[in-house]
Structure 1
Amino acid sequence: MAAEIRTFLCRSDNIGVLIRDPATGACGAIDVPEAGPVLRALDETGWHLTDILVTHRHADHVEGIPEVKEATGAQVVAPAKAGSAVPLVDVTVREGDTVRVGDLEAQVWETPGHCADHVTYWFAEAGIVCAGDTLFTLGCGRVMESPPETLYRSLRRFDSLPDSAQVFSGHDYVLSNARFALAADPENAELKARLAEAERAKAEGRFLVPSSMKAERTTNPFLRSAVPALAKAVDMPPGSDPEAVFVALRAWKNRF
Protein backbone atom coordinates (compact mmCIF):
# COMPACT_ATOMS: atom_id res chain seq x y z
CA MET A 1 0.00 0.00 0.00
CA ALA A 2 1.55 3.30 -1.08
CA ALA A 3 2.11 6.12 1.37
CA GLU A 4 3.03 9.76 0.80
CA ILE A 5 5.97 11.01 2.88
CA ARG A 6 7.32 14.42 3.79
CA THR A 7 10.58 14.80 5.74
CA PHE A 8 12.08 18.01 7.11
CA LEU A 9 14.45 19.26 9.79
CA CYS A 10 13.28 20.30 13.25
CA ARG A 11 15.36 21.93 15.96
CA SER A 12 19.00 21.54 14.90
CA ASP A 13 19.15 17.93 13.77
CA ASN A 14 15.80 16.20 14.47
CA ILE A 15 13.99 14.73 11.48
CA GLY A 16 10.31 15.49 11.14
CA VAL A 17 8.27 12.87 9.27
CA LEU A 18 4.71 13.07 7.95
CA ILE A 19 3.10 9.89 6.57
CA ARG A 20 -0.13 10.27 4.59
CA ASP A 21 -2.57 7.63 3.40
CA PRO A 22 -3.74 8.89 -0.01
CA ALA A 23 -6.80 6.62 0.06
CA THR A 24 -8.33 8.24 3.15
CA GLY A 25 -6.42 11.50 3.56
CA ALA A 26 -5.32 10.52 7.08
CA CYS A 27 -1.88 11.80 8.04
CA GLY A 28 0.45 10.88 10.88
CA ALA A 29 3.44 12.71 12.35
CA ILE A 30 6.24 10.60 13.78
CA ASP A 31 7.01 12.55 16.96
CA VAL A 32 6.71 16.34 17.16
CA PRO A 33 10.17 17.67 18.03
CA GLU A 34 9.06 21.24 17.35
CA ALA A 35 5.66 22.61 16.41
CA GLY A 36 6.64 25.23 13.82
CA PRO A 37 8.23 22.97 11.19
CA VAL A 38 5.43 20.39 11.50
CA LEU A 39 2.72 23.01 11.05
CA ARG A 40 4.59 24.56 8.12
CA ALA A 41 4.92 21.16 6.42
CA LEU A 42 1.19 20.59 6.88
CA ASP A 43 0.44 24.02 5.43
CA GLU A 44 2.75 23.46 2.44
CA THR A 45 1.28 20.06 1.61
CA GLY A 46 -2.33 20.82 2.46
CA TRP A 47 -2.41 17.61 4.50
CA HIS A 48 -4.62 17.32 7.61
CA LEU A 49 -2.91 15.77 10.62
CA THR A 50 -4.99 13.05 12.25
CA ASP A 51 -2.40 11.16 14.31
CA ILE A 52 0.83 11.73 16.22
CA LEU A 53 2.86 8.56 16.75
CA VAL A 54 5.42 9.01 19.52
CA THR A 55 8.55 6.84 19.54
CA HIS A 56 9.75 7.83 23.03
CA ARG A 57 9.35 10.37 25.76
CA HIS A 58 12.47 12.54 25.36
CA ALA A 59 11.74 16.25 25.17
CA ASP A 60 13.28 16.71 21.73
CA HIS A 61 10.64 14.31 20.34
CA VAL A 62 7.51 15.51 22.16
CA GLU A 63 7.97 19.21 22.92
CA GLY A 64 5.76 20.40 20.07
CA ILE A 65 2.82 18.11 20.79
CA PRO A 66 0.60 20.56 22.74
CA GLU A 67 0.71 23.26 20.07
CA VAL A 68 0.24 20.85 17.18
CA LYS A 69 -2.59 18.97 18.89
CA GLU A 70 -4.36 22.24 19.64
CA ALA A 71 -4.01 23.32 16.01
CA THR A 72 -5.06 20.03 14.40
CA GLY A 73 -6.96 17.94 16.94
CA ALA A 74 -4.67 14.99 16.13
CA GLN A 75 -4.82 11.85 18.27
CA VAL A 76 -1.63 11.26 20.27
CA VAL A 77 -0.38 7.67 20.42
CA ALA A 78 2.52 7.00 22.78
CA PRO A 79 4.38 4.13 24.46
CA ALA A 80 2.60 2.93 27.59
CA LYS A 81 5.95 2.76 29.35
CA ALA A 82 6.49 6.50 28.86
CA GLY A 83 3.89 7.16 31.54
CA SER A 84 3.01 10.81 31.99
CA ALA A 85 6.16 12.11 30.30
CA VAL A 86 4.37 12.47 26.94
CA PRO A 87 1.75 15.26 26.96
CA LEU A 88 -1.90 14.89 25.99
CA VAL A 89 -1.82 11.16 25.21
CA ASP A 90 -5.03 9.62 23.87
CA VAL A 91 -3.88 6.04 23.23
CA THR A 92 -1.02 4.02 24.74
CA VAL A 93 0.66 1.12 22.96
CA ARG A 94 2.85 -1.85 23.83
CA GLU A 95 4.68 -4.66 22.07
CA GLY A 96 2.40 -6.47 19.65
CA ASP A 97 -0.16 -3.69 19.29
CA THR A 98 -1.08 -2.19 15.94
CA VAL A 99 -1.82 1.41 15.04
CA ARG A 100 -3.47 2.86 11.96
CA VAL A 101 -3.10 6.04 9.97
CA GLY A 102 -6.13 5.74 7.76
CA ASP A 103 -5.70 2.40 6.00
CA LEU A 104 -1.96 2.29 6.74
CA GLU A 105 -1.30 -0.17 9.54
CA ALA A 106 1.84 -0.34 11.69
CA GLN A 107 3.04 -2.98 14.08
CA VAL A 108 4.40 -1.68 17.39
CA TRP A 109 7.76 -3.05 18.51
CA GLU A 110 9.19 -2.25 21.91
CA THR A 111 12.82 -1.38 21.15
CA PRO A 112 14.43 -0.27 24.43
CA GLY A 113 18.06 0.67 24.79
CA HIS A 114 18.24 4.36 24.00
CA CYS A 115 15.55 4.66 26.67
CA ALA A 116 13.29 2.18 28.42
CA ASP A 117 10.03 3.24 26.76
CA HIS A 118 11.19 3.41 23.13
CA VAL A 119 8.98 1.88 20.42
CA THR A 120 9.38 1.45 16.67
CA TYR A 121 6.53 1.54 14.13
CA TRP A 122 6.74 -0.92 11.21
CA PHE A 123 4.33 -0.21 8.34
CA ALA A 124 4.74 -3.55 6.62
CA GLU A 125 2.54 -3.01 3.55
CA ALA A 126 4.03 0.42 2.93
CA GLY A 127 7.57 -0.85 3.57
CA ILE A 128 8.33 1.92 6.07
CA VAL A 129 9.93 1.56 9.50
CA CYS A 130 9.98 4.54 11.87
CA ALA A 131 12.93 3.78 14.11
CA GLY A 132 13.19 6.94 16.20
CA ASP A 133 16.48 6.94 18.10
CA THR A 134 17.06 3.18 17.92
CA LEU A 135 18.46 2.83 14.40
CA PHE A 136 20.03 5.74 12.52
CA THR A 137 21.43 6.00 9.03
CA LEU A 138 24.90 4.45 9.52
CA GLY A 139 24.52 4.36 13.29
CA CYS A 140 22.39 3.62 16.33
CA GLY A 141 21.16 5.47 19.38
CA ARG A 142 23.22 6.29 22.43
CA VAL A 143 22.53 3.91 25.32
CA MET A 144 21.01 5.87 28.18
CA GLU A 145 18.84 3.69 30.43
CA SER A 146 19.99 0.10 30.07
CA PRO A 147 23.01 -2.08 29.41
CA PRO A 148 24.19 -1.85 25.79
CA GLU A 149 23.16 -5.47 25.29
CA THR A 150 19.54 -4.29 25.48
CA LEU A 151 20.02 -2.02 22.48
CA TYR A 152 21.80 -4.83 20.63
CA ARG A 153 18.76 -7.06 21.08
CA SER A 154 16.45 -4.26 19.92
CA LEU A 155 18.51 -3.78 16.77
CA ARG A 156 18.23 -7.47 16.01
CA ARG A 157 14.49 -6.89 15.50
CA PHE A 158 15.37 -5.12 12.24
CA ASP A 159 16.97 -8.30 10.87
CA SER A 160 13.50 -9.49 9.88
CA LEU A 161 12.86 -6.54 7.56
CA PRO A 162 13.27 -6.77 3.78
CA ASP A 163 16.16 -5.00 2.08
CA SER A 164 13.64 -2.65 0.46
CA ALA A 165 12.32 -1.32 3.78
CA GLN A 166 12.80 2.43 4.15
CA VAL A 167 14.26 3.46 7.51
CA PHE A 168 13.14 6.81 8.95
CA SER A 169 15.25 7.77 11.95
CA GLY A 170 14.84 10.56 14.46
CA HIS A 171 18.01 12.58 13.82
CA ASP A 172 20.35 13.61 11.05
CA TYR A 173 23.63 12.29 12.45
CA VAL A 174 24.70 10.91 9.09
CA LEU A 175 28.07 12.61 8.64
CA SER A 176 29.38 11.85 12.13
CA ASN A 177 28.04 8.30 11.90
CA ALA A 178 29.67 7.80 8.50
CA ARG A 179 33.05 8.99 9.76
CA PHE A 180 32.92 6.61 12.70
CA ALA A 181 31.75 3.73 10.51
CA LEU A 182 34.68 4.28 8.15
CA ALA A 183 37.13 4.37 11.08
CA ALA A 184 35.78 0.98 12.16
CA ASP A 185 35.51 -0.51 8.67
CA PRO A 186 38.07 1.33 6.48
CA GLU A 187 38.16 -1.20 3.62
CA ASN A 188 34.40 -1.11 2.98
CA ALA A 189 34.03 0.36 -0.52
CA GLU A 190 30.26 0.83 -0.21
CA LEU A 191 30.80 2.73 3.02
CA LYS A 192 33.32 5.04 1.36
CA ALA A 193 30.73 5.79 -1.32
CA ARG A 194 28.07 6.51 1.34
CA LEU A 195 30.37 8.94 3.14
CA ALA A 196 30.93 10.78 -0.13
CA GLU A 197 27.17 10.81 -0.71
CA ALA A 198 26.58 12.15 2.81
CA GLU A 199 29.10 14.94 2.25
CA ARG A 200 27.40 15.90 -1.03
CA ALA A 201 24.01 15.87 0.63
CA LYS A 202 25.22 18.12 3.44
CA ALA A 203 26.68 20.60 0.96
CA GLU A 204 23.36 20.66 -0.90
CA GLY A 205 21.24 21.05 2.24
CA ARG A 206 19.87 17.49 2.10
CA PHE A 207 20.07 14.55 4.50
CA LEU A 208 20.18 10.78 3.96
CA VAL A 209 16.90 9.95 5.67
CA PRO A 210 15.29 7.67 4.79
CA SER A 211 17.90 5.02 4.30
CA SER A 212 17.16 1.44 3.25
CA MET A 213 17.72 -1.77 5.14
CA LYS A 214 19.88 -2.97 2.25
CA ALA A 215 22.19 0.02 2.63
CA GLU A 216 22.32 -0.31 6.41
CA ARG A 217 23.14 -4.03 6.23
CA THR A 218 26.19 -3.32 4.09
CA THR A 219 27.49 -0.15 5.78
CA ASN A 220 26.15 0.29 9.33
CA PRO A 221 28.71 -1.17 11.77
CA PHE A 222 26.13 -1.67 14.50
CA LEU A 223 24.20 -4.08 12.28
CA ARG A 224 27.40 -5.84 11.19
CA SER A 225 29.05 -6.85 14.44
CA ALA A 226 29.26 -10.47 13.25
CA VAL A 227 31.64 -9.41 10.44
CA PRO A 228 35.33 -10.24 11.15
CA ALA A 229 36.49 -6.76 10.11
CA LEU A 230 34.41 -5.18 12.88
CA ALA A 231 35.77 -7.60 15.48
CA LYS A 232 39.28 -6.72 14.34
CA ALA A 233 38.48 -3.01 14.69
CA VAL A 234 37.85 -3.48 18.43
CA ASP A 235 40.82 -5.85 18.92
CA MET A 236 38.74 -9.03 19.11
CA PRO A 237 39.49 -12.22 17.18
CA PRO A 238 37.39 -13.38 14.21
CA GLY A 239 34.36 -15.31 15.39
CA SER A 240 33.92 -13.23 18.54
CA ASP A 241 30.44 -12.96 20.01
CA PRO A 242 28.64 -10.31 17.89
CA GLU A 243 26.96 -8.90 20.98
CA ALA A 244 30.34 -8.33 22.65
CA VAL A 245 31.66 -6.71 19.46
CA PHE A 246 28.60 -4.44 19.38
CA VAL A 247 29.19 -3.40 23.00
CA ALA A 248 32.80 -2.51 22.20
CA LEU A 249 31.78 -0.58 19.08
CA ARG A 250 29.14 1.39 20.98
CA ALA A 251 31.69 2.27 23.70
CA TRP A 252 34.15 3.42 21.03
CA LYS A 253 31.50 5.56 19.33
CA ASN A 254 30.81 7.26 22.68
CA ARG A 255 34.43 8.42 22.69
CA PHE A 256 34.72 9.18 18.98
Structure 2
Amino acid sequence: MPLLGFGTWQASGDAGYQAVRVALDAGYRHVDTATMYGNEAEVGRAIKDSGIARDEIFVTTKLPPERVGREAETLAASLAALGTEYVDLWLIHWPPGGGAGVPTWREFVAHRDAGAVRTIGVSNYGLDQIDELTERTGVVPAVNQVPWAPAMHDPRTVAEHRDRGVVLEGYSPFKNTDLDDPVLARVAAAHQVSPAQVVLRWHVQHGIVVIPKSVTPERIRSNADVFGFTLSADEMAAIDALRG
Protein backbone atom coordinates (compact mmCIF):
# COMPACT_ATOMS: atom_id res chain seq x y z
CA MET A 1 0.00 0.00 0.00
CA PRO A 2 1.72 3.24 -1.10
CA LEU A 3 2.20 5.72 1.74
CA LEU A 4 0.94 8.55 -0.49
CA GLY A 5 -2.49 8.20 -2.03
CA PHE A 6 -4.94 10.36 -3.92
CA GLY A 7 -8.21 11.16 -2.16
CA THR A 8 -11.33 11.68 -4.28
CA TRP A 9 -13.97 12.88 -1.81
CA GLN A 10 -16.08 15.64 -3.46
CA ALA A 11 -14.32 14.98 -6.77
CA SER A 12 -17.16 13.84 -9.02
CA GLY A 13 -18.22 14.10 -12.64
CA ASP A 14 -15.74 15.22 -15.27
CA ALA A 15 -13.73 17.19 -12.69
CA GLY A 16 -13.26 14.00 -10.70
CA TYR A 17 -12.26 12.04 -13.80
CA GLN A 18 -9.73 14.68 -14.83
CA ALA A 19 -8.32 14.93 -11.30
CA VAL A 20 -7.61 11.19 -11.17
CA ARG A 21 -6.03 11.31 -14.62
CA VAL A 22 -3.73 14.14 -13.52
CA ALA A 23 -2.90 12.30 -10.29
CA LEU A 24 -1.93 9.12 -12.12
CA ASP A 25 0.13 11.12 -14.61
CA ALA A 26 1.85 12.80 -11.64
CA GLY A 27 2.91 9.44 -10.26
CA TYR A 28 0.22 8.49 -7.77
CA ARG A 29 -0.38 4.74 -7.66
CA HIS A 30 -2.91 4.69 -4.83
CA VAL A 31 -6.45 6.02 -5.34
CA ASP A 32 -9.05 6.26 -2.58
CA THR A 33 -12.78 6.35 -3.34
CA ALA A 34 -16.01 5.20 -1.65
CA THR A 35 -19.53 4.18 -2.52
CA MET A 36 -20.91 7.32 -0.88
CA TYR A 37 -18.63 9.57 -2.98
CA GLY A 38 -20.66 8.68 -6.07
CA ASN A 39 -17.55 8.76 -8.28
CA GLU A 40 -16.43 5.13 -8.61
CA ALA A 41 -17.32 5.11 -12.32
CA GLU A 42 -15.20 8.20 -12.98
CA VAL A 43 -12.31 6.79 -10.95
CA GLY A 44 -12.51 3.49 -12.82
CA ARG A 45 -12.66 5.19 -16.21
CA ALA A 46 -9.67 7.37 -15.35
CA ILE A 47 -7.65 4.33 -14.32
CA LYS A 48 -8.56 2.51 -17.52
CA ASP A 49 -7.83 5.52 -19.73
CA SER A 50 -4.48 6.14 -18.03
CA GLY A 51 -3.03 3.06 -19.72
CA ILE A 52 -1.37 2.02 -16.46
CA ALA A 53 -1.69 -1.67 -15.66
CA ARG A 54 -4.39 -2.35 -13.08
CA ASP A 55 -2.01 -4.28 -10.84
CA GLU A 56 0.22 -1.20 -10.55
CA ILE A 57 -2.55 0.87 -8.92
CA PHE A 58 -3.79 0.35 -5.35
CA VAL A 59 -7.55 1.03 -5.28
CA THR A 60 -9.58 1.53 -2.11
CA THR A 61 -13.35 1.82 -1.80
CA LYS A 62 -15.68 1.79 1.20
CA LEU A 63 -19.03 0.43 2.34
CA PRO A 64 -21.36 3.11 3.80
CA PRO A 65 -23.22 2.27 7.02
CA GLU A 66 -26.62 2.40 5.32
CA ARG A 67 -25.56 -0.52 3.12
CA VAL A 68 -24.95 -2.84 6.07
CA GLY A 69 -26.74 -6.10 5.30
CA ARG A 70 -26.21 -5.52 1.58
CA GLU A 71 -22.48 -6.04 1.47
CA ALA A 72 -22.45 -8.43 -1.50
CA GLU A 73 -24.56 -6.28 -3.79
CA THR A 74 -22.71 -3.13 -2.78
CA LEU A 75 -19.33 -4.68 -3.53
CA ALA A 76 -20.62 -6.01 -6.85
CA ALA A 77 -21.84 -2.52 -7.77
CA SER A 78 -18.49 -0.99 -6.79
CA LEU A 79 -16.55 -3.49 -8.89
CA ALA A 80 -18.84 -2.87 -11.86
CA ALA A 81 -18.53 0.90 -11.56
CA LEU A 82 -14.76 0.74 -11.15
CA GLY A 83 -14.49 -1.70 -14.04
CA THR A 84 -12.27 -4.09 -12.11
CA GLU A 85 -12.46 -7.67 -10.89
CA TYR A 86 -11.12 -6.77 -7.46
CA VAL A 87 -10.29 -3.89 -5.15
CA ASP A 88 -7.06 -3.78 -3.19
CA LEU A 89 -8.70 -2.50 -0.02
CA TRP A 90 -12.34 -2.44 1.12
CA LEU A 91 -13.20 -0.46 4.23
CA ILE A 92 -16.23 -0.20 6.49
CA HIS A 93 -16.67 3.56 6.07
CA TRP A 94 -18.14 4.24 9.52
CA PRO A 95 -18.93 1.96 12.49
CA PRO A 96 -22.48 0.74 11.78
CA GLY A 97 -24.92 2.17 14.31
CA GLY A 98 -22.04 3.22 16.50
CA GLY A 99 -21.05 -0.40 17.17
CA ALA A 100 -18.14 -2.41 15.85
CA GLY A 101 -20.21 -4.10 13.14
CA VAL A 102 -19.12 -7.68 13.73
CA PRO A 103 -21.65 -9.22 11.27
CA THR A 104 -20.46 -6.80 8.58
CA TRP A 105 -16.86 -7.64 9.34
CA ARG A 106 -17.62 -11.32 8.91
CA GLU A 107 -19.04 -10.51 5.47
CA PHE A 108 -15.87 -8.58 4.66
CA VAL A 109 -13.74 -11.56 5.64
CA ALA A 110 -15.83 -13.84 3.41
CA HIS A 111 -15.42 -11.53 0.40
CA ARG A 112 -11.69 -11.27 1.03
CA ASP A 113 -11.43 -15.03 1.14
CA ALA A 114 -13.43 -15.26 -2.09
CA GLY A 115 -10.87 -13.05 -3.86
CA ALA A 116 -12.96 -10.01 -4.85
CA VAL A 117 -11.12 -7.98 -2.21
CA ARG A 118 -7.40 -8.24 -1.54
CA THR A 119 -7.38 -6.56 1.87
CA ILE A 120 -10.05 -5.39 4.33
CA GLY A 121 -10.09 -2.66 6.94
CA VAL A 122 -12.12 0.01 8.66
CA SER A 123 -12.48 3.78 8.74
CA ASN A 124 -13.30 6.13 11.61
CA TYR A 125 -12.95 3.32 14.16
CA GLY A 126 -11.73 3.50 17.73
CA LEU A 127 -9.22 0.99 19.05
CA ASP A 128 -11.87 -0.61 21.26
CA GLN A 129 -14.00 -1.29 18.17
CA ILE A 130 -11.00 -2.72 16.32
CA ASP A 131 -10.30 -4.98 19.28
CA GLU A 132 -13.90 -6.19 19.31
CA LEU A 133 -13.74 -7.15 15.63
CA THR A 134 -10.47 -8.98 16.22
CA GLU A 135 -11.65 -10.79 19.33
CA ARG A 136 -14.98 -11.84 17.81
CA THR A 137 -13.64 -13.00 14.43
CA GLY A 138 -9.92 -13.63 14.80
CA VAL A 139 -9.24 -11.25 11.88
CA VAL A 140 -7.45 -7.95 12.49
CA PRO A 141 -8.42 -5.01 10.24
CA ALA A 142 -5.43 -4.28 8.02
CA VAL A 143 -6.09 -0.52 7.97
CA ASN A 144 -7.88 2.15 10.00
CA GLN A 145 -8.50 5.34 8.03
CA VAL A 146 -9.04 8.35 10.29
CA PRO A 147 -8.59 12.14 10.20
CA TRP A 148 -4.90 12.94 10.81
CA ALA A 149 -2.64 15.98 10.78
CA PRO A 150 0.18 17.44 12.88
CA ALA A 151 -2.34 19.12 15.19
CA MET A 152 -3.96 15.71 15.80
CA HIS A 153 -0.73 13.74 16.19
CA ASP A 154 -0.79 11.27 19.07
CA PRO A 155 2.25 8.98 19.34
CA ARG A 156 0.33 6.62 21.62
CA THR A 157 -2.40 6.12 19.02
CA VAL A 158 0.24 5.47 16.37
CA ALA A 159 1.99 2.94 18.62
CA GLU A 160 -1.24 1.18 19.59
CA HIS A 161 -2.20 0.70 15.94
CA ARG A 162 1.25 -0.69 15.15
CA ASP A 163 1.14 -3.01 18.16
CA ARG A 164 -2.05 -4.49 16.70
CA GLY A 165 -0.64 -4.75 13.19
CA VAL A 166 -3.08 -2.10 11.89
CA VAL A 167 -1.89 0.45 9.32
CA LEU A 168 -2.88 3.99 10.29
CA GLU A 169 -4.12 5.97 7.30
CA GLY A 170 -4.84 9.68 7.62
CA TYR A 171 -7.37 11.72 5.66
CA SER A 172 -8.03 15.49 5.55
CA PRO A 173 -4.40 16.40 6.28
CA PHE A 174 -4.91 20.01 5.20
CA LYS A 175 -8.42 20.58 6.54
CA ASN A 176 -7.05 19.96 10.02
CA THR A 177 -3.89 22.03 9.57
CA ASP A 178 -3.08 25.73 9.69
CA LEU A 179 -0.88 25.91 6.61
CA ASP A 180 0.14 29.44 7.63
CA ASP A 181 1.68 28.21 10.87
CA PRO A 182 5.18 29.74 11.25
CA VAL A 183 6.74 26.37 12.05
CA LEU A 184 5.50 24.91 8.78
CA ALA A 185 6.51 28.08 6.93
CA ARG A 186 10.04 27.92 8.34
CA VAL A 187 10.51 24.24 7.48
CA ALA A 188 9.03 24.76 4.01
CA ALA A 189 11.39 27.66 3.30
CA ALA A 190 14.39 25.59 4.40
CA HIS A 191 13.55 22.95 1.79
CA GLN A 192 12.12 25.29 -0.85
CA VAL A 193 8.79 23.50 -0.82
CA SER A 194 5.24 24.41 0.27
CA PRO A 195 3.81 23.96 3.79
CA ALA A 196 1.39 21.43 2.30
CA GLN A 197 4.32 19.38 1.01
CA VAL A 198 5.90 19.53 4.45
CA VAL A 199 2.71 18.16 6.04
CA LEU A 200 2.61 15.26 3.58
CA ARG A 201 6.31 14.52 4.03
CA TRP A 202 5.77 14.52 7.81
CA HIS A 203 3.11 11.80 7.38
CA VAL A 204 5.36 9.74 5.13
CA GLN A 205 8.31 9.89 7.53
CA HIS A 206 6.06 8.78 10.38
CA GLY A 207 4.95 5.82 8.25
CA ILE A 208 1.36 7.08 8.22
CA VAL A 209 -0.47 6.64 4.92
CA VAL A 210 -1.90 9.97 3.73
CA ILE A 211 -4.47 10.72 1.02
CA PRO A 212 -4.59 14.43 0.12
CA LYS A 213 -7.33 15.50 -2.26
CA SER A 214 -7.52 18.28 -4.84
CA VAL A 215 -9.00 18.88 -8.28
CA THR A 216 -6.44 21.57 -9.13
CA PRO A 217 -3.73 20.12 -11.41
CA GLU A 218 -0.92 22.24 -9.97
CA ARG A 219 -1.74 21.20 -6.41
CA ILE A 220 -2.16 17.56 -7.37
CA ARG A 221 1.32 17.57 -8.91
CA SER A 222 2.82 19.48 -5.98
CA ASN A 223 1.28 17.10 -3.45
CA ALA A 224 2.83 14.16 -5.30
CA ASP A 225 6.29 15.74 -5.17
CA VAL A 226 7.28 14.92 -1.59
CA PHE A 227 10.05 12.37 -2.10
CA GLY A 228 12.83 14.74 -3.09
CA PHE A 229 13.53 16.08 0.40
CA THR A 230 13.79 14.74 3.94
CA LEU A 231 12.80 16.43 7.18
CA SER A 232 15.44 16.39 9.91
CA ALA A 233 14.78 14.93 13.35
CA ASP A 234 14.53 18.45 14.76
CA GLU A 235 12.06 19.47 12.07
CA MET A 236 9.93 16.40 12.70
CA ALA A 237 9.92 17.12 16.42
CA ALA A 238 8.92 20.75 15.84
CA ILE A 239 5.99 19.64 13.67
CA ASP A 240 5.03 16.97 16.20
CA ALA A 241 4.83 19.73 18.78
CA LEU A 242 2.01 21.40 16.85
CA ARG A 243 -0.41 18.83 18.27
CA GLY A 244 -3.16 20.29 20.40
Query: Shorter-chain TM-score: what band?
Result: 0.3 to 0.5
Q: TM-score, normalised by structure 1?
A: 0.39
Question: Normalized per residue, which structure has more strand?
Answer: 1
Q: TM-score, normalised by structure 2?
A: 0.40
